[in-house]
């Protein structure tokens, strides 16, 4: 099976712009979770989608949003970018998600977002 | 609460020695505890996990122990090799802000393990 695929791998934006990141889960996996990884804070949970519904949300401002499509692919959007949004954004997929059965999560390679 | 504390933040050992990384969690409802290994520039990879109905699990040179009463779990790596050098993250399933049965994974801040040849 192909692993979790994230696009693009690298992105450079300027303050105030918006960005959309994409994640394709492992075939058959229905849950997608998004994380922000920074050197100081480690992996911080953004949100989880399951069957096109946001099932869980972390402590991030409303500028961070996401959605999931019927084929389980997910997108994450960040509006009005700030310098502090520079980070590695990781998505992870699992069969049912940690909301139902606490299944293992499998990560993609991430999108490295740099804000100038 | 949904804190996961991980110690130490850095660990340096000689090849062949053992390495132990410890984590504590605060959510008494946590019932799933995975460990991830992340090499430089790579994705986090699941190396072992344990559920709350089990006290210990072993996979070759890697073992994890869980003490539910004390709310702590540990990763043990024996006979370390240079290729074990990486950042290791522990995680615990924690309830979402609205409680209920929708769990999410909360991660520790990571341990940089260096195995010296």
Tokens representing A107 are: 């990560």
Structure tokens at B9: 């933040």
Is the distance from CB of B22 to CB of B35 less than 8 angstroms? Answer: no
Average pLDDT, chain A: 92
Residue predicted with more confidence, B95 or A86: A86
Q: What percent of chain A has pLDDT over 90?
A: 80
- The alpha carbon of residue B54 is apart from the nearest alpha carbon of chain A, in Å, by 15
Mean pLDDT to the nearest integer, B16-38: 94
A98 touches chain B (CB under 8 A): yes
pLDDT band at A101 (very low <50, low <70, confident <90, very high): very low
pLDDT of residue A75: 98
Q: Are B36 and B29 in contact (CB under 8 A)?
A: no
Structure tokens at B36: 């991830």
Q: How far apart are CA A14 and CA A44, in angstroms?
A: 23
Task: Say yes or no to pLDDT of B110 above 90.
Answer: yes
Contact list in B for residue A95 (CB cut-off 8 A) is none
Which residues in chain A are closer than 8 Å to B89, comparing Cβ atoms? 42-43
Question: A37: buried, middle or exposed (CB in 10 Å: 19+, 13-18, 0-12)?
Answer: buried
Our measurement of the distance from residue B114's CA atom to the centroid of its chain's CA atoms, rounded to an integer in Å, reads 16
B96 band by pLDDT with thresholds 50, 70 and 90: low
B101–A106: do the CB atoms touch at under 8 Å? no
**What is the pLDDT confidence band of residue A99, given thresholds at 50, 70 and 90?**
low
Residue owning tokens 């299944």: A103
Q: What is the pLDDT of residues B34-80, one digit of tens each?
A: 999 999 989 999 999 999 888 999 999 999 999 999 999 999 999 99
As a whole number of angstroms, the distance between CA B6 and CA B74 comes to 9
Say how far apart CA A80 and CA A67 lie, in whole Å. 18
pLDDT of residue A15: 97
User: Which pair of tokens denotes residue B7?
Assistant: 């110690």
> Can you give the pLDDT at residue B17?
97
Query: How many residue pairs from chains A and B have C-beta atoms closer than 8 A?
Result: 63
* pLDDT for A100: 40
Question: Which residues of B fall within a CB distance of 8 Å from A42?
Answer: 89, 107-110
- Residues A4-43: pLDDT tens digits? 999 999 999 999 999 999 999 999 999 999 999 998 788 9
DSSP state of A25: P
> Does residue A107 contact residue A48 with C-beta atoms inside 8 Å?
no
Per-residue confidence (pLDDT) for residue A97, from 0 to 100:
63
The stretch A62-67 carries a mean pLDDT of 97
């Amino acid at each position: 099976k192909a692993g979790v695929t994230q696009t693009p791998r690298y992105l450079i934006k300027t303050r105030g712009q918006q960005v959309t990141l994409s994640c394709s889960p492992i075939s058959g996996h229905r849950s997608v979770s998004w994380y922000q990884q920074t050197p100081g804070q480690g992996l911080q949970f953004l949100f989880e989608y399951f069957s096109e519904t946001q099932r869980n949300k972390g402590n991030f401002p409303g500028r961070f949003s996401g959605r999931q499509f019927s084929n389980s692919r997910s997108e994450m959007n960040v509006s009005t970018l700030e310098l502090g949004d520079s980070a590695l954004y990781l998505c992870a997929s699992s069969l049912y998600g940690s909301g139902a059965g606490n299944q293992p999560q499998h990560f993609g390679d991430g999108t490295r977002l740099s804000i100038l | 609460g949904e804190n996961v504390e991980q110690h130490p933040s850095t660990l340096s050992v000689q090849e062949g020695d053992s390495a132990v990384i410890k984590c504590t969690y605060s959510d008494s409802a946590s019932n799933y505890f995975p460990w991830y290994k992340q090499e430089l520039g790579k994705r986090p990879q699941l190396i072992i996990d344990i559920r709350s109905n089990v006290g210990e699990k072993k996979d070759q040179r890697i073992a994890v122990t869980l003490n539910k009463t004390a709310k702590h779990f540990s990763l043990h790596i024996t006979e370390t090799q240079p290729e074990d050098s990486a950042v290791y993250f522990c995680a615990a399933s924690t309830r979402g802000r609205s409680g209920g049965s929708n769990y999410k994974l909360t991660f520790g801040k990571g341990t940089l393990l260096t195995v010296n040849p």
